[in-house]
Structure formats: structure tokens, C-alpha cells
Structure 1
Amino acid sequence: MAELAAAEMYAPRTIQVWRTLLNWMAFFFQIFAQILRGTPSFGQIFSYVGLGHGSLLSSAPTQFKPLAVVELSDFAEEHEEAPTGPNPASVPVAGGGERTINSPPFEKLTVVLDLDETLVCAYETSSLPAMLRSQATEAGIKWFELECISSDKEFEGKPKINYVTVFERPGLKEFLSQLSEFADLVLFTAGLEGYARPLVDKLDGGNRFSRRLYRPSTTSTEYREHVKDLSSLSKDFCRIVIVDNNPFSFLLQPLNGIPCIPFSPGQPHDEQLLEVILPLLKHLSLQKDVRPVLYERFHMPEWFQKHGIPASGWTT
């Protein structure tokens, strides 16, 4: 009888233990499923374990949470179905033949491009895992090593040289080539000039950037530092856009911003430049004013307000 009573007391406890174990297993399975669905990049994984870009290269605030991928991928699908603007018309000319009338006579679109995690992803070579470089090479991602001057000094007062490994976003060279055909390109980075200048020299062999702006050209606001004020480039915001993985960079002109997905070498099949951003920029080049299109697409003013930045914090 005593043995039966003990067995009856033991059984519920055993069931409770198994239920608890099953609940924990289900919890971990949900986390694992979310990771598979989210497919985090190497850069995100490194941030989880405390390994990321060196201080020389990092410019985006760590608390920034990028916009969802759907923000841009939806446009790519929509763009394939809808015409991007008026088709060129043909008119007869003297002596026979026809002449093609191209895009509307608007001022050339100015496209301001961020550097780190938008066009490239760079690591201090000494902190770069060899596995990451090998995987990027096998995936076909182009990379190169670079010497750049640090703002730090050696013990004798000489400038310190940093060694950096730079990964190019897939399609970068073709993106710049096609974009330069219909837009005026400006590089605007919050990176230091000693690092960014030699990097862009390497990327921009065709001198496609009409201007290059570095960290001293950024603005500090009560909400964020290193903000990229487009008024330093143009007083007319109808025909200027900025592409940046960090939306806080363009909080002063949110109606002119295109928030792009951050790039890391763990994304070998990234197609943002050629398949998503370039079609959008071509579409914008046909608009008299880019801001209505970008507002309809991203609703950035509301996004900033949701993050505690009122309308008074930016200009139109």
C-alpha cells in the first residue's frame, strides 16, 4: 500500500517534469525557427557575440534596427509590373528617319550614397575571422585589403597605419556605372577621411563621384550625431535622394531618404544594388519631385516620429 501511494505521488511529478522539458524544447524550437526565417547575416551574428567592426570603421549607432526587407523588395516586384515613366517617343525628321525623344527635361537627379554597409563592408584585418574571408571568396564576393591612416598616433607621433579588409557589395561596379549615366553621384560617409578616401579611390577608378564628403561634413542634432544634411549639397530637395543603411543619417530630410538593407559578407546572394535600388532610382529620375514617391514607399516621417523625433526635428 505504501509502495502504491509512493508510486501515485511520483507519477504526477514525473509528468510535470516531462511537461516542463517539452515546453523548453518547444521554446528553443521556436527560436531556432525564427532564426531560420530571419536568416541573420554574419554581421548580426558577430554583434551577438561581441565581435564586429573596429571603431575606425563603425559609424552607425548600435541601437539602430534596420527596416524590414519587405520595404524594398515589394517595390522591386511592383516595379516589374508597372511602367517607370513615359516611353520614349519617335518623331520624323527631315531627310527621312526618326528621332527619339527621351526622358523629361528635368534637372539631373543627385544621388547621395553612403559607404559602409551600403556599398561595402569593411573590417580591421587583425580582427577578421579567416573563415569569413574564405566563405566570401567561395561565394564570389569581391574583396581587397587596404592600408589607411588612423586618427591615432604612434608613440613617436607618426600617424598610425591600419590594415583593412573591404568586401564589395555584389554588383557594385555595375551599379555605379549604370547609375552615373543618369544621375550625379555624391559620396557621403560618416567614416574618417583617412580610411574612406583610399577606399573610394580604389572603388571609383572612373571618377564617377562628383563630390566626396566625410565625417566633418556631418551634423550633430539633439537626436543623433553624424546626420547627413542634404542642404549642404542643394537647396532644392525635389531632385536629390540619399541611400543609406542607417535612416537616422537622413533624419533632417526624411522625404528624400532611401533606407537600404545593411550589407555584410555573409550575404553572397545580395541583389539590392542592381535588382532593387537601381530600378527605384531610375523611376525617381523620371519624377519632377522625388519626395511624393519616397513618402508613399517608406513613410519615413512617421517612422521617425515613432522613434521619438517630431516633425520639428527635420526640414522639408
Structure 2
Amino acid sequence: MVAKPINKTPTKSVKDRRNRRRKKSPLKHVSNVVASINRSFFICQRRLVKIFNKLAKIGTPSHRKRGFQILKKCKIEDEEEAEAAAAEIASSPVCRSLFHSNGLPPLSCPEKKTVFLDLDETLIHSKPDPPPERYDFVVRPRIEGEFIDFYVLKRPGLEELLDAIGEKFEIVVFTAGLKEYASLVLDKIDPKGLISHRLYRDSCKEMDGKFVKDLSEMERDLSRVVIVDDNPNAYMFQPENALTVRPFVDDIQDQELQRVIRFFEFADCFEDMRDAVKNYISYAPANQNS
């Protein structure tokens, strides 16, 4: 008896293995795509790093390029010259802005007291065109790209005031005016250099449209400070330090600065300038009539 060949049907387990092999093939394709993306990403990243390195080298100045020189150290043999140079650096606007904010550099003479003088309507009066009937000089600052003529009239007694207090006190002109304008005026009224420091609008605090001069930020002991100003809003933070004067316009008979000179003569015996102001104000009517 001849045995017939039997065609065996694959068992279920064999079919499952084949199905599993078929299902795995899409995953291989996905993994290949991911690997390709990763390779492209890393290649792109390396290229970007090279590009940025080149840009950094281009942007960094070379010390060997023409125009760059190594500064030689300056030898100052005289100690007095060294101290003068240090004082000049300390009083520079850059140094003051870095270390003293809106304040002042340290006093050159610690025993001196400080007088803050307002400018407009206190020491002088100025107006733009047309020219007034009476003025002492003209300044022409450039403000917002435009040159403007200001006709300036000095208040009677201005030179006498600066001369009277210049040696005993540190004089600081503190104005709410713009630096472009006020600096030119100060150059004219102080040819002797009696004014130690100048503070402008950028050193004021603006509150409700008013420019306030906060003396507490000036790096000075408030007991050794007085401010002379015609505007009470300017010294609203320290009214006890303020000697008020009447606003000046064009009265050539004005005597306010003579009264200020008498105040500083009166204040000479007071240690605390606030006490001097308080006592002087209480006798103001008698002083004004004298």
C-alpha cells in the first residue's frame, strides 16, 4: 500500500509568527525615518555652531588692527598732583552717575556747609525772543535740534552773594532748567569758578508735573544744608532747610540777595542750618526792613 503524501497546513503558531513578521516591517520604516531626521538635525546643529563661531570671530575686534594703541601709564610723581587728579575724576559726571546716582561727590573740605542755589527767578531772569528792554547777556542753546536765544538779566547783588559765601560754603546751583540752557548761563555768571557743582533737571524728581529737588539724595548731612529758592514746590521734601526768596523778573531795585547775604552772616553761629532758617524767618520782618 502506497502512502499518499499529505499536505500539511501550517499550524496556528506558524501563522502567528508570519503575521508578526509582517507587522514589524512598518516599524522598521518609521525607525529609519527617525534616524534620518536625527542625523540631519545633528548635521544642521554642527553647521550652525560653525557659522556662529565665525560670526563671533568677525565681530570681535583684533588688537592688531590699525587704530588700536596700548595706552601708556602716566606717572604722577607729585602727591598733590595725584590728589588733584583723583578729585577731578571723582567730580566728573560719569563717576558721579556710577557711584553717587543723582547725588554729589564727597566734600573736598568736610568742615564746609552746603548752599543750594536755584537759578531762574532766584539768581537771574531770562526770556526768549523777542528781546526785552533790559538784559545783561544772551545765550543760544540748542534745544531739541533748534537754536533759541535767551536774554538774561542778572539779579542785583548776584556777584556780591557768590563772593560773600564762596569761601565759607560749598555752592551748588540746583536748577530745574535744562542743562543745554543752564550751563551756558552759569558759565557767564560765574567767571571766578566759585560754584562747586551744577545740578540740572535730570537730578530733580517729577511729581504731578512739578520738579522737586530732593536734598536727601545729595549725599550731604541735612543739618549742614540750606536751599535758596523762589519756588516752594522745589523744596517740598525739606521745607525746614529752605530760605525762600521772592521771584525776580526785572526789578533793578531788588534787594532779595542782600537779604540772603545777611542770612548767611546770621547763620554763622548755628551748627544746624535748619535752626538758622527757623530763627531767621521768625525775625524776617525786622531783617527785611533793616
State TM-score, norm by structure 1.
0.52
CA contact (8 A) 1:117 1:262 kept: yes
Q: Indicate the SS of the match to 2:278.
A: helix
- Take 2:215 and 2:281, find their aligned partners in 1: how far apart are those partners? 18
CA contact (8 A) 1:182 1:285 kept: no
Q: Which residue of 2 aligns with 1:116?
A: 120
Q: Which residue of 2 aligns with 1:248?
A: 233
Q: Indicate the SS of the match to 1:187.
A: strand
- Take 1:294 and 1:121, find their aligned partners in 2: how far apart are those partners? 25
Is 1:168 aligned to 2:154, yes or no?
yes
Q: Indicate which of 165, 171, 190 corresponds to 1:185.
A: 171
Q: Indicate which of 132, 140, 148 corresponds to 2:141.
A: 148
Q: Which residue of 2 aligns with 1:279?
A: 262
Output the amino acid matched with 1:225.
Answer: K
- Take 1:175 and 1:191, find their aligned partners in 2: how far apart are those partners? 21
Q: Which residue of 1 aligns with 2:196?
A: 210
Q: Indicate the SS of the match to 2:275.
A: helix
The structure whose RCO (Cα within 8 Å, separation 6+) is larger is 1
Q: Please state how far the C-alpha of 1:202 moved relative to its aligned partner.
A: 0.9
Q: Which residue of 1 aligns with 2:186?
A: 200
| Identical residues among aligned pairs (%) | 35
- Take 2:200 and 2:220, find their aligned partners in 1: how far apart are those partners? 20
Aligned CA RMSD, in angstroms, stands at 1.8
Name the CA shift for 1:109/1:282 in 2 (closer, same or farther; >3 Å).
Answer: farther
- Take 2:223 and 2:268, find their aligned partners in 1: how far apart are those partners? 11
Once the two structures are superposed, the pairs formed by residues 28-47 of structure 1 within 5 Å of their partners are none
Q: Please state how far the C-alpha of 1:256 moved relative to its aligned partner.
A: 0.2
Gaps of at least 5 residues in structure 1 are: 1-105, 134-141, 153-158, 300-316
State TM-score, norm by structure 2.
0.56
CA contact (8 A) 2:267 2:276 kept: yes
Output the amino acid matched with 1:272.
Answer: E
Gaps of at least 5 residues in structure 2 are: 1-109, 283-290
CA contact (8 A) 1:187 1:213 kept: yes
Deviations 1:21-80 (A, max 9, x none): xxxxxxxxxxxxxxxxxxxxxxxxxxxxxxxxxxxxxxxxxxxxxxxxxxxxxxxxxxxx
CA contact (8 A) 2:171 2:194 kept: yes
Q: Please state how far the C-alpha of 1:297 moved relative to its aligned partner.
A: 4.3
Q: Please state how far the C-alpha of 1:174 moved relative to its aligned partner.
A: 1.8
